[in-house]
């Protein structure tokens, strides 16, 4: 029998942790041109024509205004060897050395040695509860590390394809 009580945020988090996701770092630049980024797993492809992706960002994010104002963002898909970078970008306002970035063709900061990267232009922003959904048109895309495996997140832990 299904319990029809209201789903709490804790229950929702527990259920969603059973959906394995890849890990990305989504980046932009602030009004001074300084890189800003965070670890995101709420990322997916949307359309092939035009080529669109979406990313969901918390409205309380310290750099939220930078994403909203810049209207461009980079996406770096992390490899299984980049858990340290994911953890770094998951911590609010952690020190991020400039040598971890490479500048994309549109000027977005992208992570060195990522599996693949893309630069996007936000074409729409939608309210989504305590998040904003950024719909981005992909302007550049490149595979950096074709032979590597992705970094995954499942049941609250980083994982690899072999189930570590």
Write phi, then psi, for 78 (nearest 5 degrees): -85, 145
Beta strands 72-77 and 35-40, pairing class: unpaired
C-alpha separations of 45 from 34, 76, 83 in Å: 27, 14, 22
Q: What is the pLDDT of residue 2?
A: 65
Q: Do residues 30 and 109 lie in contact, with contact meaning Cβ atoms separated by under 8 Å? A: no
Mean pLDDT of 147-151: 91
Instruction: State mean pLDDT over 5-34.
Output: 90
Residue 94: is its pLDDT beyond 60? yes
* pTM for this model (two decimals): 0.90
User: pLDDT category, 1, cuts 50, 70, 90?
Assistant: low
Domains in the chain, start-ordered, CATH in brackets?
23-155 (2.30.110.10)
Chain mean pLDDT for the chain = 92
Mean pLDDT of 16-36: 92
- Of the segments 6-15, 64-73, 142-151, 153-162, which one has the largest average pLDDT value? 64-73
The model's pLDDT over 104-141, given as tens digits with 9 standing for 90+, comes to 999 999 999 999 999 999 999 999 999 999 999 999 99
Q: Of residues 116 and 93, which shows the higher confidence score?
A: 116
pLDDT the model gives residue 20: 84
Cα-trace Rg, the chain: 16
**pLDDT for 164 beyond 50:** no
Q: What is the reported pLDDT for 163?
A: 47
């Amino acid at each position: 029998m299904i319990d029809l009580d209201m789903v709490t945020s804790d229950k929702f988090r527990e259920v969603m942790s059973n959906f394995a996701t890849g890990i990305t770092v989504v980046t932009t630049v602030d009004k001074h041109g300084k890189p800003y980024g965070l670890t995101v797993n709420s990322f997916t492809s949307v359309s092939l024509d035009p080529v669109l992706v979406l990313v969901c960002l918390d409205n309380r994010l310290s750099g939220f205004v930078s994403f909203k104002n810049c209207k461009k963002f980079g996406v770096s898909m992390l490899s299984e060897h980049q858990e340290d970078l994911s953890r770094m970008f998951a911590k609010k306002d952690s020190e991020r050395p400039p040598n971890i970035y490479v500048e994309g063709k549109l000027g977005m900061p992208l992570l060195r040695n990522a599996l693949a990267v893309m630069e996007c232009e936000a074409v729409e922003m939608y309210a989504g509860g305590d998040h904003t959904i950024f719909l981005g048109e992909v302007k550049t895309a490149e595979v950096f590390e074709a032979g590597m495996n992705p970094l995954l997140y499942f049941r609250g832990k980083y994982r690899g394809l072999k189930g570590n």
